[in-house]
Amino acid sequence: MGSDERASRAGRFKQSLLAGDDLAVIAEIKRRSPSRGNLNANLDPAEMAAAYRDGGAACLSVLTNEAMFGGSGDDLAAAAKASGLPVLRKDFITTIDDVHESHDMGADALLLIVADLTGAQLAELHALALSLGMDVLTEVKSESELEVALEAGADVIGVNQREKPKSQTFTMDYQRAVRLAPLLPDHVVKVAESGIAVPGGTTMAAVRDAGYDAALVGEALVTSGNPVERLKELLA
């Protein structure tokens, strides 16, 4: 990728989340999850990405881990081409090679999870991603992780409500996003993740009222049967 193309992509993800006057949606493409099994095993990433665009999504999130989520880099490329929307590579990114791979896939942004990295690693990978023209969604689950993210220079921060205790069973803390919202500085783009708009989960209204700029929504969309209409309902 040339420097001109890299420059044209820089900041697209972050800017799209802030472009509207209301809560933005990052619409997720994933076939299955470790906690729920198959969600939409036979989805067509290009078709779903176009539907998300038509429903009003600001950005896409694409799972590229095959073993856990049934995803791939090809899914990301197909979704980006079909929709024209900025795309987040949602995967377990822990090395310099992972960051370069994300860039080569055509990702506009990548996910860095504070719990998976040391503070020094987080800062290094965050800076590298920015230098390559990608935004970074930095994921936290606690106040202490938020401090690490801010120290590393994170400017797009996602609060993930999913837990993975020692038993390896996945549970949710549906109040975490609202609880941590007051601790997020004004200068960061605020994203609520996991358990959004699912039965018994955190409502879009609660996310909006807590002051978030965006919600990352996956299961509620991929299982809906009509993602265009479901997205329009969530954004209404």
Catalytic residue among 30, 33, 141, 219: 30
From the number of C-beta atoms within 10 Å of its C-beta (0-12, 13-18, 19+), residue 83 rates as buried
**Percentage of residues in the chain with pLDDT exceeding 70?**
89
Is residue 143 annotated as a catalytic residue, yes or no? no
Active-site residue, selected from the candidate residues 14, 33, 83, 139: 139
pLDDT at position 54: 96
pLDDT at residue 177, as a whole number: 96
Q: Is 166 known to be catalytic?
A: no
Q: Is 101 a catalytic residue?
A: no
pTM: 0.91
Q: Has 139 been annotated as catalytic? A: yes
Per-residue pLDDT reduced to its tens digit, 38-83: 666 678 999 999 999 999 999 999 999 988 887 889 999 999 999 9
C-alpha triplet 197, 199, 202: angle, nearest 5°: 45
Give me the numbers of helices (H) and strands (E) for the chain, helices first please: 12, 12
Please write the tens of the pLDDT for every residue from 202-234. Answer: 999 999 999 999 999 988 898 888 989 999 999
Average pLDDT over residues 188-200: 92
- Of 16, 40, 90, 145, the catalytic one is 90
| Predicted local distance difference test score (pLDDT) of residue 186 | 95
How high is the pLDDT of residue 4? 52
Answer yes or no: 5 catalytic: no
Catalytic residue among 16, 61, 83, 194: 194
